[in-house]
Structure 1
Amino acid sequence: MEKTATDRLKTVILLLAVAGLVGGIALYAAGRGDIATLVWFAGVVPALAALLVEILRSIGRGEVGLDIVAALSMSAALAFGETLAAAVVAVMYTGGTFLESFAEGRARREMHDLLSRVPRMATRHRNGGLEDVPLDRIQPGDRLLIRQGDVVPVDGAVASDTAFLDTSALTGESLPVRLSRGAEAMSGSTNAGEAFDLAATRLAKESTYAGIVRLVEEAQRSKAPMSRLADRWSLGFLAVTVAIAFAAWWFTGDPIRAVAVLVVATPCPLILAVPVALVAGLSRAAHFGVLIKGAGPLETMARIGTLILDKTGTLTDGRPRIVSIDSHDGMGGDEILRLAAALDQASKHPVAQAIVTAAKARGLVLPVPSEVSEIPGDGVIGRVEGHEVIVGGDGFVAGRVGGQAGAHPATAAGSVLVAVAVDGRMAGHLVMADPLREGTAAMLAGLRREGIGRILLATGDRADVAERVSEGLGLDGVRAGLTPDQKVLLVLSERKHGPVMMVGDGVNDAPALAAADVGVAMGARGAAASAEAADVVLLVDRVDRLGPGIEIARASRRIAVESVVAGIGLSVLGMIAAAYGYLTPVQGALLQEVIDVAVILNALRALRITPHAMPATPSATGA
């Protein structure tokens, strides 16, 4: 709300300044110069008052910005009766700050909107029935019902025979895990199987998910604010301006020359060119499916030196896929897949659904199964076209057909093994894994060319799985088995190599995204926590958009710097001319407007930036 009120105030001040300038010119043309002077004065005062307040706030933060030059020029113009020049400066300054505010936008929503997937209520067993209660009323020892698809609201122990949980948002483990009675279930994980009971062991505020929320808040509070590119030029420009204005007054004794110098020196090239170029860059990046939350993150994105990538859902697709089919009795791979998928149509298990999807992708026709019986967490039994088919875990299926589960290399490699038996015989195995995204190696090579010096993999998954996925990618390091706070520590430790970008999609990535200089979230399928904590959101489920995003950010910043250098150079020449008496304050203000137009036109070149290595489907909507 505070941000909205500030934006509204800036809009009102800009409208007053414009009304004062236009109204004064109209009155002056009508021969009412005395009233015109008052109108110009009235239009300048709100802008100058707001400017002085901002200067005091900046000084309180230990910052010296361009606002001082603008305040000096307006104050001097009013003091020496050059109200028209002051009105022109007021319009250009308020227009520039309004544009900059527009460029920044709303970087983040309120924290209570950050985690939209957080459950607010839970279903508790009480006196032989069920009741819905707020999370803050759950006590350790309460027995809760977790329905299929529910998010586990608090940490607890499984109180049913089995539970099947999707923990990818918390640990990065892409495939669901089976928990037996008494096993610990973390809050924030999702029930991917049948309904089960949970015995609460912690209060909601002390649970895993609440701890991640606190980590996000702490990381955002401790994150250094992003400085404006324009302010980094301000001190030197201020010194040059004051020196030329003082010299003009000292050597000529004419204060109007100093006023003219200050008016020409009003830093509109800095105030306007930088936000215009960056706003254009934001628009251009969004065209390619990269939503950057403001000019500050875009500018910082252009200076990134270290990239840290999450694994599941970022480097990998985040969904299990069939990577091979092993046949044991001569049955063809497509036939094994067809029978397994036909039976799995009756199951809501995520692995079963992945098998059905794979079969349909191959164009296989799936008959309707009958006499289906599902053992949650183990497998499915039923009949397909008269055949008895069993699909499930290797041990479960082997036990049903009188065999023994044997060692399989896929298990050691971190893949999931789905056994398929037909008519009492082991027919084969479906090997499923979370594969690397297509084009990942090329994407990383492109990022290297863009100047990213270090690229690391950070995941909560097992070390063997992380090593297998990252093999051949040429990463500078692999960090596996990380908790959310350990990811934050990794981000902070990597800052010694320069600004750090963190890319992730899960709830467990949100604290690290908030702590990084630039956090990037996979917004298409990622958790709300990561999208809200991040500075950049990839609107399409393609990490290869990262390269074009960085390229656009760097090109936008380069254009902004070019505009600033050209604008300052022309302003300095104008200040020298004013110091020698060749420009009056009004002429200086008009000259400054010509410079403004020139630098804005140059800054708008950012709208035409085209990344060199652009993946297919170059629009956010078409990907």
Structure 2
Amino acid sequence: MTDFLQDRLKVALLVISLTGLIAGLVLSLAGFPQAADLAWSAGVIPVLAGLLAEIVRSLKGGEVGLDIVAALSMTAALIFGETLAAAVVALMYSGGTLLESFAEGRARHEMRSLLSRVPRTASRHLDGTLEEVPLEEIEPGDLLLIRQGDVAPVDGTLESGQAMLDQSALTGESLPVRLDHGAEVMSGSTNAGEAFDLRATRHAKDSTYAGIVRLVEAAQKSKAPMGRLADRYSMVFLAVTVVIAFAAWWFTGDPIRAVAVLVIATPCPLILAVPVALVAGLSRAAHFGVLIKGAKPLEALAQIKTLILDKTGTLTDGRPVVVAIESYGELSEAEVLHFAAALDQASKHPIAQALVAAAKARGEALPFPQNLDETAGEGISGIINGRKIAVGGSSYIASLVGTAGPELSTREAGEVVVALAVDGKPAGRLVMADTLRTGTADLLAGLRRRGIERILLATGDRQAVAEAVTEKLGLDAVRADLTPDQKVLLVLSERKNGPVMMVGDGVNDAPALAAADVGVAMGARGAAASAEAADVVLLVDHLDRLLSGLEIAQRSKRIALESVAVGISLSVAGMIAAALGYLTPVQGAVLQEVIDVAAILNALRALRITPTVPGLPAVTQAAARSA
């Protein structure tokens, strides 16, 4: 049965039980007790039938839940003529299951665009013309045209002279790579330069991108769903309930006392209060930009012991920024940036766009260049305010003016150098790198205070780059040069140390996100595949929200446990009172409702959780506290 039909069935059962209870009360007050009994029974029987079917399914799956107590109480109440008590229990149970279903489905509907970036068609060369064909029709050996901005639909080899490819979704490397004729091109790579021809070497279903999709699907299927928090205490509570009910009947000879015990034992503090606390936690997390896809991930998030982080776009911003400027001539450092950015306005290269963004962030008014001549992936030249300017890699500038200038004195791993020439002479260099997010060290320290015992880096980047970026973060391990399936293996191997959380933003991270106990995707700029595979999506591009989500999950679970402890303690006290004859079944049902209200009110405290967000102004946190 689909989730949609199950939800509709739960709504129907709630309506039936509520209608039966109200109709019975009206008939009873009108002086028709027998008709009232029939109305109450009519409201109970469908709920009981659905409950028994659910119990059978659970038992076949090897699970024993507290639903058995609810079934026993309704059955015993009907057998011994306590139909009003049975109707109250049926209403409590049907309402509780519907609310629990709501908790499971909360926020899932926000993420439905699975792998939205995967292409559906491709442009294939045929007899001097281009035809648009579905991916299934592409055969090895076909020649495809990959336009600027297109995603390579299949694996292949580069037929054109050169190509600039953004492989960040596959390798985690934020900077585009230049490939020469004959080089292998992975499906899922985005063309960041001029259009090029690709010779297909595999069918679409056998290509890299399709393999990542299959890894995601397999990992999702292999992850066993967590049982309800209530079921963890089911065997003990069930045994205590049966013993007290049987003892009350055995020693007094009055079966109604056993019915009263079973009625008040119906574990609605567990069935109702737990999902209320978790749903409140889900809503509160969403308020702070953390989308948690249901109550189960929220509960799992509260137990995490190991954190595995991707690098590009997760620990780092995922965008190259200017980290240093060198000038060796008449220009100042500001003028070096000014001329380089002004010329790069005409280029779509990611490095060029990053330079333009850096200049505009400083308030520069950039004139538009003239007489442009761009060599894709190498550099660009033109005229700005009457001066001849060239910007590009060191080899490109050297080919134009004979030298790119003095050697760079120091250069860290992962940095890119952009050279500038003005009027035929080297004028300066700009050093660019993908830098750590601000406050990363404080964030990791906060996560450790919240119970994270191990923090690791898992990246497709080179080892030297990964170590250079994370040198001062105090990570427990750095794993580099990893493929998507190797990230999955790392997640699985770390489970020996406790539940694992994986954080990433690219398609290459999606299999590991799905395999982890909790997968967290950077949803603001992350790939659709990682967002769908993940259990948690950070809706704002701030990694510090990870700490907010963890804190909300832990406090929500604690509130849920408090509700359980208080509710079950009161239920046990009520069972003892019912066994001693101080409570009738109807009184027990009413008392159980009072216990439910107390437990739910306590659970609703989760709506007031205000996490401590690093770097968030105090006034903002105060506003969130009052929201």
Corresponding position of 1:500 = 500
Q: Secondary structure at the match of 1:165?
A: strand
Corresponding position of 2:444 = 444
What does the per-residue CA deviation read over 1:20-46, in whole Å, with 9 as the maximum and x for residues that have no partner? 111111111111211111111111111
Q: Does 1:118 align with 2:137?
A: no
Decide whether aligned partners of structure 1 residues 213 and 520 sit closer, same or farther in structure 2, where only a CA change above 3 A counts. same
Amino acid aligned to 2:239:
A
Give me the whole-angstrom Cα distance separating, in 2, the residues matched to 1:130 and 1:284: 52
Corresponding position of 2:98 = 98
Q: Does 1:354 align with 2:354?
A: yes
Corresponding position of 2:309 = 309
What does the per-residue CA deviation read over 1:499-520, in whole Å, with 9 as the maximum and x for residues that have no partner? 0000000000000000000000
Corresponding position of 1:185 = 185
Between stretches 194-203 and 407-416, larger displacement belongs to 407-416
Decide whether aligned partners of structure 1 residues 410 and 458 sit closer, same or farther in structure 2, where only a CA change above 3 A counts. farther
Q: Are 2:140 and 2:202, in contact at CA under 8 Å, matched by a contact in 1?
A: yes
Q: Does 1:531 align with 2:525?
A: no
Q: Does 1:587 align with 2:624?
A: no
Decide whether aligned partners of structure 1 residues 107 and 3 sit closer, same or farther in structure 2, where only a CA change above 3 A counts. farther
Corresponding position of 1:270 = 270
Q: Are 2:112 and 2:532, in contact at CA under 8 Å, matched by a contact in 1?
A: no
Q: Secondary structure at the match of 2:179?
A: strand
Give me the whole-angstrom Cα distance separating, in 2, the residues matched to 1:62 and 1:85: 30
Corresponding position of 1:491 = 491
Please list, as runs of the form range in 1=range in 2, the aligned pairs for 1:289-308 lying within 5 A after superposition: 289-308=289-308
Amino acid aligned to 2:466:
A
Q: Secondary structure at the match of 1:276?
A: helix
Corresponding position of 1:251 = 251
Q: Secondary structure at the match of 2:456?
A: strand
What does the per-residue CA deviation read over 1:318-359, in whole Å, with 9 as the maximum and x for residues that have no partner? 011111111122421110111111111111111111110000
Give me the whole-angstrom Cα distance separating, in 2, the residues matched to 1:531 and 1:564: 33
Deviation, structure 1 residue 109: 7.1
Deviation, structure 1 residue 474: 0.7
What does the per-residue CA deviation read over 1:27-83, in whole Å, with 9 as the maximum and x for residues that have no partner? 111112111111111111111111111101111111111110110001111111111
Q: Secondary structure at the match of 2:544?
A: helix
Deviation, structure 1 residue 405: 7.5
Deviation, structure 1 residue 3: 1.1
Q: Are 1:108 and 1:533, in contact at CA under 8 Å, matched by a contact in 2?
A: no
Q: Are 1:509 and 1:530, in contact at CA under 8 Å, matched by a contact in 2?
A: yes
Corresponding position of 1:387 = 387
Normalised by the length of structure 2, the TM-score is: 0.97
Please list, as runs of the form range in 1=range in 2, the aligned pairs for 1:323-342 lying within 5 A after superposition: 323-342=323-342
Q: Are 1:455 and 1:477, in contact at CA under 8 Å, matched by a contact in 2?
A: yes
Corresponding position of 1:139 = 139
Deviation, structure 1 residue 404: 5.7
Q: Are 1:107 and 1:535, in contact at CA under 8 Å, matched by a contact in 2?
A: no
Q: Are 2:261 and 2:585, in contact at CA under 8 Å, matched by a contact in 1?
A: yes
Corresponding position of 2:212 = 212
Give me the whole-angstrom Cα distance separating, in 1, the residues matched to 2:338 and 2:115: 40
Corresponding position of 1:426 = 426
Q: Are 1:545 and 1:615, in contact at CA under 8 Å, matched by a contact in 2?
A: no
Q: Are 1:390 and 1:421, in contact at CA under 8 Å, matched by a contact in 2?
A: yes
Decide whether aligned partners of structure 1 residues 235 and 543 sit closer, same or farther in structure 2, where only a CA change above 3 A counts. same
Q: Are 1:108 and 1:532, in contact at CA under 8 Å, matched by a contact in 2?
A: no
Deviation, structure 1 residue 225: 1.4
Corresponding position of 1:466 = 466
Give me the whole-angstrom Cα distance separating, in 1, the residues matched to 2:182 and 2:313: 30
Between stretches 606-615 and 269-278, larger displacement belongs to 606-615
Give me the whole-angstrom Cα distance separating, in 2, the residues matched to 1:138 and 1:407: 48
What does the per-residue CA deviation read over 1:84-103, in whole Å, with 9 as the maximum and x for residues that have no partner? 10110011111111111001
Corresponding position of 1:455 = 455
Matched residues, number: 621
Deviation, structure 1 residue 221: 1.2
What does the per-residue CA deviation read over 1:529-581, in whole Å, with 9 as the maximum and x for residues that have no partner? 00000000000001110011101100000000011000000000000000011
Deviation, structure 1 residue 408: 3.7
Which ranges in structure 1 are unaligned for 5 or more consecutive residues? none
Corresponding position of 2:559 = 559
Normalised by the length of structure 1, the TM-score is: 0.98
Give me the whole-angstrom Cα distance separating, in 2, the residues matched to 1:397 and 1:45: 84
Q: Secondary structure at the match of 2:242?
A: helix
Deviation, structure 1 residue 286: 0.6
Q: Secondary structure at the match of 2:457?
A: strand
Give me the whole-angstrom Cα distance separating, in 2, the residues matched to 1:495 and 1:333: 50
Corresponding position of 1:513 = 513
Amino acid aligned to 2:442:
A
Give me the whole-angstrom Cα distance separating, in 1, the residues matched to 2:158 and 2:583: 82
Corresponding position of 2:45 = 45
Q: Secondary structure at the match of 1:417?
A: strand
Q: Secondary structure at the match of 1:230?
A: helix
Give me the whole-angstrom Cα distance separating, in 1, the residues matched to 2:412 and 2:391: 21
What does the per-residue CA deviation read over 1:239-271, in whole Å, with 9 as the maximum and x for residues that have no partner? 100000000011111111000000000000110
Q: Secondary structure at the match of 2:540?
A: coil
Corresponding position of 1:576 = 576
Give me the whole-angstrom Cα distance separating, in 2, the residues matched to 1:294 and 1:104: 4
Give me the whole-angstrom Cα distance separating, in 2, the residues matched to 1:326 and 1:303: 49
What does the per-residue CA deviation read over 1:219-247, in whole Å, with 9 as the maximum and x for residues that have no partner? 11111211211110111110100000000
Deviation, structure 1 residue 410: 6.0
Give me the whole-angstrom Cα distance separating, in 2, the residues matched to 1:412 and 1:359: 23
What does the per-residue CA deviation read over 1:395-445, in whole Å, with 9 as the maximum and x for residues that have no partner? 111111112677546655211111111000111111110000000000000
Amino acid aligned to 1:198:
L
Q: Are 1:146 and 1:198, in contact at CA under 8 Å, matched by a contact in 2?
A: yes
Q: Secondary structure at the match of 1:114?
A: coil
Q: Are 1:459 and 1:481, in contact at CA under 8 Å, matched by a contact in 2?
A: yes
Give me the whole-angstrom Cα distance separating, in 2, the residues matched to 1:334 and 1:183: 38
Corresponding position of 2:18 = 18
Amino acid aligned to 1:488:
V
Q: CA RMSD in A?
A: 1.7
Give me the whole-angstrom Cα distance separating, in 2, the residues matched to 1:506 and 1:586: 57
Corresponding position of 1:260 = 260
What does the per-residue CA deviation read over 1:178-236, in whole Å, with 9 as the maximum and x for residues that have no partner? 11111111001111111111010111011000010111111111112112111101111
Decide whether aligned partners of structure 1 residues 326 and 171 sit closer, same or farther in structure 2, where only a CA change above 3 A counts. same
Give me the whole-angstrom Cα distance separating, in 1, the residues matched to 2:328 and 2:534: 48
What does the per-residue CA deviation read over 1:302-333, in whole Å, with 9 as the maximum and x for residues that have no partner? 00000000000000000111111111224211
Give me the whole-angstrom Cα distance separating, in 1, the residues matched to 2:492 and 2:109: 24
Give me the whole-angstrom Cα distance separating, in 2, the residues matched to 1:237 and 1:605: 26
